[in-house]
Amino acid sequence: MFDNLGDLGKLKDKAEEIAEEHGDAISDGLEKAGELVDEKTGGKHSEQIDGAVDKAQALLDRLAENAGNADGKDRPAE
Nearest to 64 by CA among 8, 23, 5: 23
Distance CA 41, CA 22 (A): 29
Distance CA 4, CA 40 (A): 40
Tell me: the pLDDT tens digits for 43-64?
A: 999 999 999 999 999 999 999 9
Sequence-ordered list of residues with C-beta below 8 angstroms from that of 57, at least 6 positions apart, any chain: 27, 30
Nearest to 64 by CA among 10, 9, 18: 18
Please tell me the predicted confidence (pLDDT) of residue 75.
47
Please tell me the predicted confidence (pLDDT) of residue 55.
98
Below-70 pLDDT ranges, the chain: 1-3, 70-78
Please tell me the predicted confidence (pLDDT) of residue 69.
79
